[in-house]
Structure formats: structure tokens, C-alpha cells
Structure 1
Amino acid sequence: MNMMNCKYILVIISVFLLTGCEDYLDRIDEGVELVSEDEVWKDKNKINSFAFRLYDTQEWMFETRYDFNARQNANLGKNYGSVMTFSGEMHNNRPLAVVDAVTSGDYISALNNSFANPDFWDCWYDMWEAIYVSNSILDRIDDVTEDIMSTDEKNQIKGEAYLFRAFAYHELSKRWGPLPYIKTKIFPDSDLNLPRPTYREQITDIVTDIDIAIGLLPEVSYLNHPNNMGRMGKVAAMALKSRALTTAASPNYTANNQKDTELWEMAATAAWDIIQLSQTSDKVGLYQGDYNHIFHTEPGTIEGLWPRFNPQINAYSGIYTHAWAWRNIGGDAGYGPPQELVDSFETADGWPITHTSSNYNEQDPYTNRDPRFYKDILYHDAPWPKNAETDRMDLRTTPLGKDRTDPNSSGYGNSITGYFAKKCLPEKYNRTAYRTTKYINAPYIRMAEIYLNYAEAVNEAYNNPNATAPGASLTAVEALNIIRNRVGHVDVRPEFTSDYLTFQKVVRNEFKIELCFEYHSWFDLLRWRTAKEELDGRVFHGVLIIDDASQPTGVRFEKFPIQRNRVFQDRNYRYPLKEADLQVYEIPNLTQNPGW
């Protein structure tokens, strides 16, 4: 029996299942029992609990592993190996083995490090588990009789199985390239000597599974459902279809890295289908309340198409794992966005700060900016209730502020860059004064991404930002304006909407701004195949903030380089496969990725 069989044949036999659980996602640590496979399929609660393994396999994406069996290798350390640090969207000055390996182009070292490594380590093993569990469900679910589960209940689980199989292959293939699409349960004598498909073949299988899931899942969404809240409905599958097709159409995944117009057209249609649904559904759409509430409102909002519902969490674990909080309010992560991300936010009237019409003043840099800047970034002298309502951020370098780490020191826990991420950090949520309990709802896919996908796909498919997808009533430009206007920002300026390439730059910057700190930036650089240009030899910057009464704000802002040896070569567009894992498929038919 080969390694993959040994690992996963045991899953269904030795899976821990909860009994007597009325709410599908209301899981507790106590009351688990070991049962046989046949017993699973005779008990509704056990079937549901087994299906929950599918949900459990996605937790690595958010770098938290709170599951009942303590499956994590690194506990709260998981957040160290964040893809945001790979892309340069976040920085800290703690030595982190996985980050150092990835940013230096050494994926082999990254691949062999289990600690603090959700993207290389947990993703690989958890996604194969999702595939195995999905296939095991599909192997037996049709034999479940009506006295055990109704047709709708069985369809829900079947839909989840098809959906999570597609999800797993999407996540695997965007890192490791296309892999054999296993559609049946694996047995000890299964033939795994399978060749790699093309990415076109891979996305065809992914979309086929998603379309089946859309047809099976009974509800559009389970938002606010009394028992099934957190489960996947049709719109979650539709959202994955949009993301998967947008990824597949991007240059890193097409044949010879050339434009595939047909895939872009398919991506535009998939995004439009969700936008059109949102026009009549009260469970799908852009959230119109406070922008920050999208990420920590119980039980979530209509924005979360693929929901990530987390039970309420205490101030320490949530602050540490989700918000990259700093030492002054009880955290210990010290992540900070660089000056380059801050500079990507436009002025309030829609100009890039580098444009001659922007009137940007580098010594008064935080006035007159895109409204999302104030929702996403904590900057020097920003209002923030750490211990009292009147508190403001003190990120000075000279004299050293309470919220700032000396960028030349070896300490950590506060900001190295002169900034913090505000986006996913609820106000009045810390261990020093407020100690409140909060819900964390960081959606895997949210509605704003769908508008971005639509705008990008239409522009790429038709080489025209003012085109529409067939049957759609929105142009690419109008789709971007909707997500900008939602937060009070102005329309894209007409100077940037007249031609394909100019608008492409606008769309890509919108991905960077709208989805910052949401685990997107790294994969966008990969799929656009711009990572080599953007990262190889790149020096990012922080800001020194020095008392200076002669300046408009009473301080002087000076950029400084964040020293890191960044290497990105062509081979880094794919993660390598471990030699041991290649044996899973019994070489020679599965081949290593180019350059490794």
C-alpha cells in the first residue's frame, strides 16, 4: 500500500465523529467516539459529522487551527508563515524560517518546514484529505435511505462533496499546477500512476464539479439559518466558479502563458451570474454598513459568499491570529504594511499620489485619501481606542512612540514599518482595557471580489473597459465604480477608462486595495505572472517619523529600506512537489514542476 493510501484509507475508518449533535457546525471537544465506516452511513448525525471534515480542511487558509483534535502543528504560530509576507503586503522583523525561505526563492526549504507553514504544508495535506473525504461521501451517500436522511439533506452533503473537491483542486493547482483529478474513492489497489493533466483540463473538471454542486445545493445561502448557518449554499459554489475561472484565465495558468479569450469570457459570465442574483436576493450582495463590520459581525453579512464563520473568540487568540496586533494592546505579532501599500491608495478625488494633479504632500501624507485608507490602515496619529476613547496612534521613531519598534532594533511586537493593519481588527478589542469578545468572519470569497473579477474579465476578454459581458447590464468600469462608491470613494477618473492597458492597471490596483490583508496579493502576483517583476530584488520601505515642528503635522516623514534578500525566478511561479509525495502517484507519470 503506498503512502497516500496509508494516510487516507485510515481517515474514514478512524475519523472522530460527534454523536447527538443537533447543529451541524456546533461542535465541542467532548463526546467523540471511534466508529466503523458502515456505522457512519446508518446515522444522520454521524454522516453530518463526517461531512464536517470538509469544512475542517479549510481552516489553514485563515491560519487558525481551533479544531477539536488539536490537528495543528504550530497552534497560533500558524500566522507567521502568511502569504501576505511572501508578497510584501506585510512585514515584521522577527526571523521566520518559512518567510525567509520563500522570499529568498528557496521553496524546497519552505516545503520541508511544518512549523508556521499553512501555505506549503497544511494546504497540501488538508486539500488531499478534502478530496479523499469528498470521494468517500460520493461513494456511499446515494445508498442512504429516506428514513435516515431526506433527499434535500442528502443533496446538501453531495453538493458539499462536489464543491469541496473542486475547492481542493483549485487551491492545489494554483500552487503546484494541475494534478490528477481523482473522482473515485481510493482503495489499497487503486492505480495512482496518473499523468498530469493540462490546466485547461483541470479547470474543466473543477467547473464540472462546481456546476453539479450548484444544481444539488438546496439553498442560495445559509446566512442567519437557525441550524445550518455556516454551511455552503449555491452562491458559495458560484463564487468559487468565478474565482477558479478568473485564476485559470490568468497568464500564469494558460497554455504558453498566452491570453485565453474564451476563459476570460467564461469568467465574466460566472461573475455576472452572481451580480445578477444579488439584484433579487436578500442574502447576496455588497454590505452597505460600516466597511469594517464585514470581517467581524455576528453571524456575518451578505458580503460573505463563501462564509468563514468562527465562534466567538477571546481577545488574545483573535488579536494574535487574525489581526497581527501589537504589543501595546496585548498582542505579540508586530506585522505592519509597507509604505508601498500605503502609497497605492489614491487621493480622495481619485488620483494616484504620483500623478501631477494629485496635490499629494509627502509631509502631510494621510489627508485627502481614498476612504478605504482610513478603514484599512493604522497610521501615525490615527484615532484608535487602545485604552481610552481619545487615544491616538503614536508611531514616532524619534522619540520612540509607544506603538512603534525601533526599525534598527532586534525587538518585535510593535510596528517595524510605521503602520498597522486596521481592516480586520475590531475596535475596543484588546487585552489591556476593553477585553471584549468578538466574532471573526473573514470570508474566503466576498461580493466585492466578484465585481473585481467581472471588471477584470470583461476588460481582458473584450480589450475594452467599457464593454459588457453578453446579457449583462454593467460595463467593467461601472463594476469597479460600484465597489468604490460603496465606501464613499469617487468613480474611476475618465483619464483611466479609455483603453484596455490603462484600465488593466487600475483593476489590478483595485484588487490590491479592496482585498488587502485578505490573502489575495500573493496569488494575484502569481496568476498575473508579475511576481518576478514585482518581487525579484525588490526593496520595500517603512517610514521614520521624527519630531519636527517645521512640518505641517509636527513630524517629519522619511522612508527607509526594509532589508530583505528577495529572489523570485521563473521556477517560483510553481511550488515544487516533495520527492516523497511524488511517490504517492508512483512515478514516472507524475512529473516535477519546471526548474525544481
Structure 2
Amino acid sequence: MKNYKYIFIFISVFLLAGCEDYLDRTGTSELTPEEEAWSNRVIITSFAYRMYDTMGWMYEIRQDGFNRRESGPGKNYGSCVVFSGEVIDMRSHFVHNDVFKGDYVDALKLSFANPEFWDAWYDNWELVFVSNNILDKIDEVTTDIMPQNEIDQIKGEAYLFRAFAYHELSKRWGALPYIKTRIFPDSDLNLPRPTYREQITDIIADCDMAIATLPEDSYLNDPVNMGRMGRAAAMALKSKALTTAASPNYTANNQKDTELWEMAASAAWDLIKLGQTSDKVGLYQGDYGEIFHTSRGTIEGVWPRYFGESDAGAYNLSWLWVRTGGKTGYSPTQELVDRFETADGYPISHANSNYNEQNPYVNRDPRFYKDILYHGAAFPVISDSDLLDMRTSPVIGDDRSKPFSTDYGSSTTGYLARKFLPEKFNLTGYRRNTFVNPPYIRMAEIYLNYAEAVNEAYGNPNATAPGASLTAVEAVNAVRNRVGHVDVRPEFTTDEGVFRELVRNEFRVELCFEYHTWYDILRWRIGQEEFDGKRMHGVLITEDATQPTGVRYERFPIEQGPPRIFVDRMYRYPLKESDLQIFEIPLLTQNPGW
């Protein structure tokens, strides 16, 4: 065990990196002995805050190119919204390049601007370390030190965040040893890898402990604790983790596990049922944009992410483009745009859709207009009357980068992302502050989890989970109807396989840009058919008076080096070989193919 102490030292380095935060919160200038720390209400609370601090990698954005700022969804470097093919980023980033050419081993080595491979690994192990430290001591805290509800809150958070850490680790690297005790320099960490079935059992046990321990369902609009986790967050993580575990990428021999799908359906229903009577948890029926911005939070955010008001610099290197003062202009792909149905509920490829590729932006799913900016869309940039100009010929439009080039900063594909951008919120014509608070898990995902799980468990889109009053079809309709979209068409609701594809498309439309699709592609094991040997596409827009809108639309491939590589081993990330060698943990075996 001579080198196990290095693991302890390594994790401690990351933990101590946050000590400045501790000291700021406790108002002391030196470390407090352990016995004294666990007798101090403020310091104990700071341990809980540290668990929240470790989640910063999930929301990393960079303001003005250098300063980190944790606010909403702006993980613009090493970003899974690029990996998933939802957007094109023409800025050259080492991590993106490594993923596209299939070199995940090199991606593991990059510490800068790499939340997906570097930060997700080290920060989640730190979270395990911190959670176990809390659980080791929290039962010794007495009510003369802090009230019982505060003790329960911190204890519940520790169980919840440990479950969260293992969910985030295992969906990338596969099942890993579930450490439930405090880690010391001489701890034996040479532990065998469990099966994913064993892993999900431990994750769910921690979620259940959190549900049983946390004192409130939600802290929405709480004057003191808004942004902290309640029982609804633990129920949401349980649903998310079970839906992942039941999916083909994580089951034994990639075969259907009906029992896990039944458990996933039940977990999702538990939270949906809570939302039917709660005023703090539910499917938000107000303006769609308020889920992500302009509001301090809504009932939709079952795992909330709350910050104060932000200016548009938060999106300087992700969603903003040149005319709005940004430098990147993430560009949605034609593949994503094509996933939005017509207004009457048909895929655009369906014979009954009446889709016209030369008038492509009329009569589409209402979410299209909430999520995507396209040629001719009304969107204030400098003035209220602005229309976006995505032309490629005879001139390059004001919001467009030159096609077939490495230019970046404006739209590469003919589209820009609207979903997270409040109107009149940029760095040019409209400088103001507003809330930017997209949740980690929101209620729409839970409804879709339920629909998927019921269909898979019972082989029938019109089935319900035991004790539930909602069919799989009705769950999808609830998500669609609240934005004004039509019910799922009857012809898509009678067959398990047809409905499976419809639900998968709903995930990709409803949760686009929310750091969800990449992990769905992995869990469904469809990466090879989606990516291998392929390129994403954009649209050329040329003035043509013979066309219905005065321009002609033509698909074209986005060329960023050779076609993409995706092979079977890429459904798991590799473990970092240097870690395995330095720490001498031979039972932590490498993932297949790496």
C-alpha cells in the first residue's frame, strides 16, 4: 500500500484548493483543528457549500477569455454539445479535435479548458472525498451546535452528492469502486470494479437516504436556502440514474433489463406525482424562456442551478456571436434543426408533413422558434427591428461566417442558438443584467424518463407504471402541450419501436443544448451510426427570386479535418494510465479497447 498515500495527497490538493472559500465563509485566517471545526456551525455549513463548489466544472464558462465564472450552461471548452453534433464550434480546441479523431487518451492529458475529461474525473472524486468526510462526522453534531433540520440538510446533501459523483463518473468511465468511508493515507483503495448493476444499487441507496433525510422538497424562492437541494433533487437524480442504468450501454451484455426499466418508471412517477400537488415542483406552464433565464427559478428546476443576475459576458465565448459582442457563435447543425417536427406533429421527412425545403422555417414545432435563430428571424441585436442575416451569396450576411473556411465568431451553419439568450441581452446594443439559471435536471426530463421507461418496461406506449395515472404517451404530450405543440400523432403511439424513436427525438429536441444529448447517444449506443465516418451539415443561403422566400437553401458539409471517428470502445472513456501506474491499483482495470 506504499503508494496509496499519494491518492490521499492528490485528492487533498484539490480539496485544499478551495480552502480560500472556506476561510472566506468562516471569517478565520487559519485552519481549524478537526474537533473544533465540527463544533462550529458556520464551518460545518461551509463543508456543505464545498460540495456545491465542486460542481463548477459542469457549468464552466469563460468570460473575456480568461476568467472562470460559474453561471448557467456555458461549458464552451471541451463541450459535450459539440461532441454530440448539436452545434459546430469552428474555434480550434484540442479536446474537440481529440474527440473527433477518436483520441480520448490524449484528451485525458489536457488539464486546461477540459471539463468533460479532466475536471469531471478529478472534481467528482473530490466530491466523494468531501461527502465521506461529512458522513463520517455529521452524526456526532448535536443540536446545541446547530438545529436538527440543518444537520439533516447537510447529511442529506452528502448522500445526494456522493450519488451524483458516482453517476457522473460511471456514465463516462463505467462502474467504479463505491467508496463509502472516509479516506485516509493508509486506506486500502485497491478495490475491484463492480458491475454497473452493483453500481446503480449503491447510487440508488444513497438517493433513498437523501430522500429520507432532507427536510424539504424544494427551496424554491426560499430567502436563505434557494439553490440548495431538497428531496425533489434526490428524486430527480434517482430517476436520471436509473434511466441511464437501464439503457443498453450499461446493462449486462447490452441486453434489455426489464426490471431496471420498471424501477426507472416508478422513480420518475414518484416525482411527477409530487409535482401534481406541490407549488414548488412541477412542469412549468409559464413562458418557456423563464426556465432558463429572466427568472430566479421556476418549479421546473427540480435540481436547480441558481446564481444572481449576470451580464451577457457570461456567453462571450459560447452562445454570443460577433454582432452581439461575442467571439464564438456556437452554430446549431442542420441535423439538429431537422429534428424539429412540423406544427402538425410529423417529422419533416414524413410524406404527410408538407415540409418545403425552400420554405423550411414555417409551421414548425413551437420549440423551434424558442431554441433556434435562423435566416430572417426577428431578434433584437442593435435595434428592435433587427432580422438575422445568414446569407452566403452574393454577400456574407451580418450574422454569418464565410462557408468552407475556418472562420469563426458568427454562424458557420446558417443557425445560431436562441434557447439561453434572453432578448435584448448582449454586449453591443443591449447591455443589461438578468438571471441565467438553467437547471441540471428539470421536470420535462422526468416526464420523458417516465415515457421511455414505461414503453421499454411494458412494451406498450399506452401503458402506465403500477399505481400511476399517466401513460407513456400522455407524459410526452404533457411536455409538448405546455409549449403549444400538438399531441403525438396516433399513428406513432401503437408500436413500442416506433414510439421509442419518437421519445428519443423528444429528448433531443426538448433538452437540446442542455448537456444531455451526448450522454443519451452514449447510453442508447448509437454513436457509431450517428458519427462514424460522417460530417455535420449547415445550409448555404443564396439570393434567388424564384424561391418562395427570395433565397435558395442548400445543405453543405462542415469540414473540420477528416470525417469523424467513433468506434465501439468510445462508449466508455479510458482511465488515465499514469494514474493507474502511480497509484498502484491493479484491480482498477482499464476499460475495454483502451
**Shift in alpha-carbon separation, 1:556–1:333, aligned structure 2, 3 A:** same
Distance in 2 between residues matched to 1:77 and 1:115, nearest whole Å? 16
Q: CA RMSD in A?
A: 1.9
The reply to whether residue 160 of structure 1 matches residue 157 of structure 2 is yes
Matched letter for residue 402 of structure 1: D
Task: Answer whether contact 1:242 1:450 (CA < 8 A) is retained.
Answer: yes
Tell me the CA shift for residue 33 of structure 1.
4.9
Q: Provide the residue aligned with 2:170 in structure 1.
A: 173
Tell me the CA shift for residue 3 of structure 1.
2.5
Out of 350, 353, 356, which is 2:351 matched to?
A: 356
After superposition, the C-alpha distances for 1:560-593 in whole angstroms (9 at most, x for unaligned) are 1012421001100000001122247633211000
Matched letter for residue 441 of structure 2: I
Out of 120, 124, 134, which is 1:123 matched to?
A: 120
The reply to whether residue 50 of structure 1 matches residue 47 of structure 2 is yes
Q: Provide the residue aligned with 2:588 in structure 1.
A: 590
Q: Provide the residue aligned with 1:309 in structure 2.
A: 306
Tell me the CA shift for residue 335 of structure 1.
1.0
The reply to whether residue 7 of structure 1 matches residue 19 of structure 2 is no
Summarize the alignment of residues 273-352 of structure 1 with structure 2, pairs less than 5 Å apart: 273-316=270-313, 318-320=314-316, 324-352=319-347
After superposition, the C-alpha distances for 1:422-455 in whole angstroms (9 at most, x for unaligned) are 0011111011111011111110000000000000
Out of 470, 473, 476, which is 1:474 matched to?
A: 470
Out of 131, 146, 158, which is 2:143 matched to?
A: 146
Tell me the CA shift for residue 300 of structure 1.
0.7
Summarize the alignment of residues 20-35 of structure 1 with structure 2, pairs less than 5 Å apart: 33-35=30-32
Matched letter for residue 255 of structure 1: A
Out of 513, 516, 530, which is 2:512 matched to?
A: 516
**Shift in alpha-carbon separation, 1:12–1:435, aligned structure 2, 3 A:** closer
Matched letter for residue 240 of structure 1: L
The total of aligned residue pairs comes to: 582
Distance in 1 between residues matched to 2:255 and 2:341, nearest whole Å? 31
Q: Provide the residue aligned with 2:546 in structure 1.
A: 550
The reply to whether residue 577 of structure 1 matches residue 580 of structure 2 is no
Distance in 2 between residues matched to 1:226 and 1:584, nearest whole Å? 47
**Shift in alpha-carbon separation, 1:495–1:13, aligned structure 2, 3 A:** closer
Q: Indicate the SS of the match to 2:542.
A: strand
Matched letter for residue 8 of structure 2: N
Matched letter for residue 242 of structure 2: L
Matched letter for residue 268 of structure 1: A
Distance in 2 between residues matched to 1:273 and 1:60, nearest whole Å? 30
The reply to whether residue 497 of structure 1 matches residue 501 of structure 2 is no
Task: Answer whether contact 1:532 1:568 (CA < 8 A) is retained.
Answer: yes
Summarize the alignment of residues 218-229 of structure 1 with structure 2, pairs less than 5 Å apart: 218-229=215-226
**Shift in alpha-carbon separation, 1:20–1:417, aligned structure 2, 3 A:** closer
Distance in 2 between residues matched to 1:65 and 1:583, nearest whole Å? 33
Q: Provide the residue aligned with 1:104 in structure 2.
A: 101
Out of 407, 411, 416, which is 2:412 matched to?
A: 416
Q: Provide the residue aligned with 1:532 in structure 2.
A: 528
**Shift in alpha-carbon separation, 1:406–1:45, aligned structure 2, 3 A:** same
Distance in 1 between residues matched to 2:172 and 2:326, nearest whole Å? 31
Tell me the CA shift for residue 158 of structure 1.
0.4
Q: Provide the residue aligned with 2:111 in structure 1.
A: 114
Unaligned runs of 5+ in 2: none
Q: Indicate the SS of the match to 1:64.
A: strand
**Shift in alpha-carbon separation, 1:71–1:330, aligned structure 2, 3 A:** closer
Distance in 2 between residues matched to 1:409 and 1:283, nearest whole Å? 48
The reply to whether residue 272 of structure 1 matches residue 275 of structure 2 is no
Q: Indicate the SS of the match to 1:306.
A: coil
Tell me the CA shift for residue 31 of structure 1.
7.3
The reply to whether residue 431 of structure 1 matches residue 433 of structure 2 is no
Q: Indicate the SS of the match to 1:81.
A: coil
Unaligned runs of 5+ in 1: 23-29
Distance in 1 between residues matched to 2:133 and 2:328, nearest whole Å? 40
Distance in 1 between residues matched to 2:172 and 2:16, nearest whole Å? 30
The reply to whether residue 60 of structure 1 matches residue 63 of structure 2 is no
Tell me the CA shift for residue 46 of structure 1.
1.1
**Shift in alpha-carbon separation, 1:12–1:489, aligned structure 2, 3 A:** closer
Task: Answer whether contact 1:20 1:45 (CA < 8 A) is retained.
Answer: no
Task: Answer whether contact 2:382 2:430 (CA < 8 A) is retained.
Answer: yes
After superposition, the C-alpha distances for 1:63-92 in whole angstroms (9 at most, x for unaligned) are 2379xxx8899xx99512110111111102
Q: Provide the residue aligned with 2:367 in structure 1.
A: 372
Q: Indicate the SS of the match to 1:251.
A: coil
Task: Answer whether contact 2:305 2:439 (CA < 8 A) is retained.
Answer: yes
Q: Provide the residue aligned with 2:437 in structure 1.
A: 441
After superposition, the C-alpha distances for 1:366-396 in whole angstroms (9 at most, x for unaligned) are 0000000000000000000111111111111
Distance in 2 between residues matched to 1:549 and 1:148, nearest whole Å? 76
Matched letter for residue 484 of structure 2: G
**Shift in alpha-carbon separation, 1:422–1:452, aligned structure 2, 3 A:** same
The reply to whether residue 16 of structure 1 matches residue 20 of structure 2 is yes
Task: Answer whether contact 2:60 2:68 (CA < 8 A) is retained.
Answer: no
Tell me the CA shift for residue 45 of structure 1.
1.1
Q: Indicate the SS of the match to 1:388.
A: coil
Distance in 2 between residues matched to 1:349 and 1:32, nearest whole Å? 63
Distance in 2 between residues matched to 1:137 and 1:65, nearest whole Å? 31
Tell me the CA shift for residue 147 of structure 1.
1.4
Distance in 2 between residues matched to 1:569 and 1:242, nearest whole Å? 29
Out of 420, 439, 453, which is 1:457 matched to?
A: 453
Distance in 2 between residues matched to 1:219 and 1:412, nearest whole Å? 46
Task: Answer whether contact 1:312 1:439 (CA < 8 A) is retained.
Answer: yes
Q: Indicate the SS of the match to 2:555.
A: strand
Percent identity over paired residues: 65
Distance in 2 between residues matched to 1:65 and 1:401, nearest whole Å? 27
Tell me the CA shift for residue 143 of structure 1.
1.4
TM-score normalised by the chain length of structure 2: 0.95
TM-score normalised by the chain length of structure 1: 0.95
Distance in 1 between residues matched to 2:339 and 2:207, nearest whole Å? 35
The reply to whether residue 196 of structure 1 matches residue 196 of structure 2 is no
